[in-house]
Structure 1
Amino acid sequence: MSDPLLKVSGLSITNTANPALPPILDNLSLEVAKGEAVAIVGRSGAGKSVLGRALVGWIERPLGLQSGRIEIAGEDILAARGGDLQRLRGTGIGYVGADPTRVFDPTLSVGTQIAEKYRMLRPEVSMKEALERVHELFDLVRIPEARHRMDELPSKYSGGMIQRAAIVDAIIGETKVVVADNVTQPLDVTVAAQIIRLFQDLRERLGTAFVFITSSVPVIKDFADRIIVMDEGRVVEEGPTQQLIDAPKTQQAETMIAQSPRIWGAQAPESLSAADVMNRPPALAITGLKRSYKVRRKDRLFGKVEVQAVRGADFDVYPGESLAIVGESGCGKSTLMRLLTWLEAPDEGSVSFEGRNVGAFTTKERFDLRAQLQLVLQDPYGSIPAHWTIGRTISESLRLHSKLGGKERRAKVEATMAEVGLDPSLHDKLPSGLSAGQRQRINVARAIVLEPKVLLLDETFSALDPMEQTPLIELFRQLQRDRAITCIFISHDLALVRRVASRVAVMYLGRIVEAGPNDELFLNPRHPYTRALLSAAPTLEASPYDPAECLVDGEPPSPIRLPPGCAFAERCPAAQAKCRESDPHLHTAGERIRVACHFPLAPDKVVKSEAIPAE
């Protein structure tokens, strides 16, 4: 490559706290041209994120630079200090991480913070001019009501919106290169698809180059010009995107592509038959569930407004099945999970466990219910006490909910550890040094050691890359076969849902808008919103849904100011006058399919499985 914009030469980074360990980055070299999009892919622990931070000069202890140069337009960022480093980070290279909330001070408005950064890079610019520049870029990245949003605190932004604001922060100084480190991993599929389209737009309009760091090949399939595969701190393969996907030359690349989840050609988990459903009482029955929150108004001293988080959920969950609840951020999924576990009481409606209304339970009965209804959380790091041994973490619930003695508890804990794929010799060890996948196995062991009847998994797999997800998915399949556990998955990862759920419920702004068996919902969606979600799902296969026709733009309406009629009407390409006047409710639209839409997609308008084109 002649005259590259970004050039990394012989970069080696070590762990100075333990020099005996292999280098985290080992003599790594790469180049990026102006306007080019390069994807850095690899399994967890390959060194991708360390490389991403090194590209912007963030090498902090215990990491130490052993050798190498990182040049941006000919200037070495690793040798820059003070004002030169600040300038390079502002006008040469920018960084957007997976957690954009860390970019901003929670006590200052987002627009003011970005404007102040712009004035640091351009001291001759007035505050008024800086705010106008921020407003221009907010419009460019399609933040709705941009001028109003600039005055709000970061806490008022949704996940997709704060990610867009972080992108503005990264490019405010007309940055030549943007490092995007796992930016789509925590986002819903529709928002992630919009972010990728935004990056493509920035490339075309501003000539910005991108270094996109990810563990998911499907995410960057249509965006990256080249793929660089990393393993153990080294570049093991690189080449044009489609060429590398079609014909990988190394075992690492071949394994990663083979383990990229399929959606359309995947085998859905077996659903309960209609006869089974009719003949078995539900494990959980949810009826008319509603939950709202009062929040203070900014424009009035004592005024409050009501946020409608869950607006009347109705569904049953049957013993032994896997139900997934999907939808965009802010749709009410996590609030619904808290209501199901009775961590919060609903304003209206009921949750029945094995035929009994949990709302009528005594305090002691609800405490005992915890043993039968276990929750597995998303964060594999924050949900495990760092100062407790692994054995104590898993056995704590046994101490609370059983009468087993110390030796019996230890034996049961070690047997459970072996069942979930953890070496029982780790019983007396601290969790430090374990991978995210191993930590989630600790969370699973902690949940199933009580032999619960229902497991609720809130984004349990979202922090894991596809290669770590696969063995855990197999673990859950085995647990369901051996223990007949009922599982409820909360997830925005549709490829994961396709693999684990026998039935799927789609939520939008506090309501379930469609529910049905896995195959029916993925291959024959009746609701336009379901089809929009599916069109945004990243996959290596040819998709039956064209994002240009199906994908919706922008953010959902505010749950404080819901429009009359159907809440999806403002974004629905097929909305009619009735949709804006009358609110549809769930009704039967096929065998075991329920949909809340005045004009559901007809069977001849949806994709049949045999019509899916092959790659």
Structure 2
Amino acid sequence: MTEAKPVLSVRDLTVDLVLGDGPAAARRPLIEAISFDLKPREILGIIGASGSGKTVLSRALVNWIEPPLAIAGGSVTYKDRNILTLPRGEMRALRREIAYVGANPQGALDPTLPVGRQIVEKLRAVAPEIDRKEAEERAIALLDAVRIPSARSRFHEYPSQFSGGMMQRALIVDALVSNPAFLVADNVTQPLDVTVAAQVLRLMRELTVRFDTAVVFVSSSLPTVAEVADTVLVLEGGRVVERQATKSLVSAPTHAYTRELIGQIPQLWTDTSAPAATAEDAEPVFSIRDATRSYKVRKRGTFAAMSTVRAVRNVTFDVFPGENFGVVGESGCGKSTLMRLLSRLELPDSGVVLADGKDVAKLSGKELMQFRKNFQLVLQDPFSSLPPRTAIGAILEEPLRTHGERNGKAIRERVLTVMHEVGLPASLYDELPLGLSAGQRQRVNVARAMVLAPKVLIMDETLSSLDQTEQFKLLKIFEDLQALHGLTYVFISHDLAMVRRVCNRVAVMYLGEVVEIAGNERLFFDPGHPYSRALLSAVPTLEARRYKPEDCLLEGEPPSPIDLPPGCSFASRCPNVFDRCRVESPALTVRGRSDFAACHLVDPHGETARELVEEPA
């Protein structure tokens, strides 16, 4: 039996960065002499660190290379034609057969038009013979196929009404609506939480069978690629350094770079060591008691009627000096709202947030300035959080000047000291952030927080936009800073592998509530809540899984925070649900000295967390 003809053949593909104009312009190769074949229904994984050329390669495969980049050689053959040399009109006709999905779902669609309408317009642009009604039905069927809940009604909603996971699936529909022969998926799971990412990975596998589509799956995470790919191609410095079947590459990598990537992957269960719990007899640096935060939103289809979104509900916990405290959960669970409460960007509707024993809502004047100095926030996006036309030194000087420092020499010395501590060379002091990598930009963000010598850093998805190599480096910097300055960290993240490596205790949030608080070891080896087990079952890993996805993994979206169900809010997705769950909401119940879980399967007569914490004075 003859082997099927490849869907795509790439030979000696080279893409250069062109610096300057004319024949004398300098050129630097970003990817060089890359060759491979993509077979029908195959999922080809491409991995590599930031800067290895993954995104340049993925865009070249769909002929989407624009200045200052230029094709310097090679071919990408589809249907016996090199698509890199096709006239624009012929290439436009092929767009219905070639699809691309990127890693930024929220910025990919027009926010002023309903999602379904945009998908229909894309389909009719590449297939004008299809009438609008047929196009709408095809789009709705695909939205349902990728498990968008209530697909027919969601068809008419705007991008702002979709969660991050739903937006990513909607973009996959946008790519698949014309039944392409192959799909390039460039880091599509990186911005997603683990449960949604797991659904997308399963979806990729289903697409190859259901729609007869071959997939090029690009990622910086080898465990993610290993979940879905048949074959893996490893990029380093723009060149292919290894290609093997997935199982063979994981078990017996041949190249030193591949072994280095595997060595940087955090272990969840094989390495049983974890950060030890900190002493809880000290006064907490943070305390939050019964904090609630809601928002008013306009009801769809009305002019003045409003609904209430209950973003954070009755949250209670302490954070102790020198601790690394993690907060995890799916998108929309309330993590970022909780971050805004802890950093006093917003105030709770009820309850209290205490910093060093003081109610942050009552701080003003000098006390508030001192709070801002001691409790610093580092956000997720390393690109939009820095002013592009301000030198790095001036960015780092600004907090010191805001807090009253006037000695120019002392300011410069302090900034250079902090730059050294976070791994930024002094030569960047007068440079703009435009030329920095994502990892370097995030170092600038950390330095901007550290320049005021804070006591606490609140890290809101600070590492989620970075590849595993950069995460590995920054986590080492965080360890060094903590040892040097006695810092306390609050890590708000959906990356459980990172949390496993660095956090002493972890709070698990679901639909605005904390459903479990546990020490690192207890959470990963003996979680008390079914939702915690579901999160752990979805983590991409090269290890043998402790929790099986088929037993734990969630489908669909959480209930709406506008219309919360009675009883336990997790009941509609819980594999262990019983009658009591649907009528009675469980409180956080003690499982050990400092471990709690809000589940009726935990001792129903145990003490609750609220009974064990002292009420604020």
TM range (shorter): over 0.9
> What is the CA–CA distance in structure 2 between the aligned matches of 1:346 and 1:322, rounded to whole Å?
23
Give, in angstroms, the shift of residue 425 of structure 1.
2.7
- Aligned letter for 1:56? V
Aligned to 1:161: 166
The answer as to whether partners of 2:537 and 2:552 remain within 8 angstroms in 1 is yes
> What is the CA–CA distance in structure 2 between the aligned matches of 1:531 and 1:418, rounded to whole Å?
40
SS in 1 for 2:64: coil
Aligned to 1:216: 221
> What is the CA–CA distance in structure 2 between the aligned matches of 1:522 and 1:597, rounded to whole Å?
17
The answer as to whether partners of 2:405 and 2:411 remain within 8 angstroms in 1 is no
The answer as to whether partners of 1:266 and 1:499 remain within 8 angstroms in 2 is no
- Please show how residues 530-569 of structure 1 align to structure 2 within 5 Å: 530-569=532-571
Aligned to 2:585: 583
- Please show how residues 57-76 of structure 1 align to structure 2 within 5 Å: 57-76=63-82
- Aligned letter for 1:293? Y
Alpha-carbon displacement from aligned partner over 1:429-481 (angstroms, at most 9, x marks no partner): 22232222222111111111111111100111111111111121111111111
Give, in angstroms, the shift of residue 399 of structure 1.
0.9
SS in 1 for 2:380: coil
Aligned to 2:611: none
Aligned to 1:15: 17
One of 281, 284, 290 as aligned partner of 1:282: 284
One of 317, 320, 324 as aligned partner of 1:315: 317
Identity across the alignment (%): 49
One of 197, 203, 227 as aligned partner of 1:192: 197
> What is the CA–CA distance in structure 2 between the aligned matches of 1:216 and 1:320, rounded to whole Å?
30
- Aligned letter for 1:8? V
The answer as to whether partners of 1:268 and 1:502 remain within 8 angstroms in 2 is no
The answer as to whether partners of 1:288 and 1:349 remain within 8 angstroms in 2 is yes
One of 131, 144, 169 as aligned partner of 1:139: 144
Aligned to 2:236: 231
Structure 1 regions of 5+ residues with no counterpart? 603-615
One of 109, 114, 123 as aligned partner of 1:118: 123
> What is the CA–CA distance in structure 2 between the aligned matches of 1:329 and 1:233, rounded to whole Å?
34
> What is the CA–CA distance in structure 1 between the aligned matches of 2:568 and 2:345, rounded to whole Å?
30
Is 1:467 aligned to 2:469, yes or no?
yes
The answer as to whether partners of 1:307 and 1:559 remain within 8 angstroms in 2 is yes
- When structure 1 is superposed on structure 2, of 414-423 and 430-439 the one drifting more is 430-439
Alpha-carbon displacement from aligned partner over 1:251-289 (angstroms, at most 9, x marks no partner): 22111111122111235543335xx21x21110110111
> What is the CA–CA distance in structure 1 between the aligned matches of 2:175 and 2:467, rounded to whole Å?
25
Alpha-carbon displacement from aligned partner over 1:556-611 (angstroms, at most 9, x marks no partner): 11111111111110000111111111111112122311111111399xxxxxxxxx
TM-score normalized by the length of structure 2: 0.95
> What is the CA–CA distance in structure 2 between the aligned matches of 1:434 and 1:156, rounded to whole Å?
33
SS in 2 for 1:282: coil
> What is the CA–CA distance in structure 1 between the aligned matches of 2:178 and 2:81, rounded to whole Å?
17
One of 324, 337, 340 as aligned partner of 1:338: 340
One of 292, 296, 303 as aligned partner of 1:301: 303
SS in 2 for 1:432: helix
One of 107, 110, 116 as aligned partner of 1:105: 110
One of 486, 490, 493 as aligned partner of 1:491: 493
Number of equivalenced pairs: 598
- When structure 1 is superposed on structure 2, of 119-128 and 17-26 the one drifting more is 17-26
Give, in angstroms, the shift of residue 123 of structure 1.
2.0
- Please show how residues 318-329 of structure 1 align to structure 2 within 5 Å: 318-329=320-331
Aligned to 2:417: 415
- Aligned letter for 1:34? P
Give, in angstroms, the shift of residue 21 of structure 1.
4.7
> What is the CA–CA distance in structure 1 between the aligned matches of 2:573 and 2:361, rounded to whole Å?
37
Aligned to 2:349: 347
> What is the CA–CA distance in structure 1 between the aligned matches of 2:105 and 2:273, rounded to whole Å?
34
Is 1:41 aligned to 2:47, yes or no?
yes
The answer as to whether partners of 1:325 and 1:505 remain within 8 angstroms in 2 is yes
Is 1:29 aligned to 2:38, yes or no?
no
The answer as to whether partners of 1:586 and 1:594 remain within 8 angstroms in 2 is yes
> What is the CA–CA distance in structure 2 between the aligned matches of 1:255 and 1:2, rounded to whole Å?
35
Give, in angstroms, the shift of residue 111 of structure 1.
1.0
Give, in angstroms, the shift of residue 493 of structure 1.
0.5
Are residues 344 and 578 of structure 1, via their aligned partners in 2, closer, same or farther at CA, if it must alter by over 3 Å? same
> What is the CA–CA distance in structure 2 between the aligned matches of 1:515 and 1:210, rounded to whole Å?
40
SS in 2 for 1:22: strand
- Aligned letter for 1:479? L
TM-score normalized by the length of structure 1: 0.95
Alpha-carbon displacement from aligned partner over 1:516-555 (angstroms, at most 9, x marks no partner): 1101001100100000000000111111110011101111
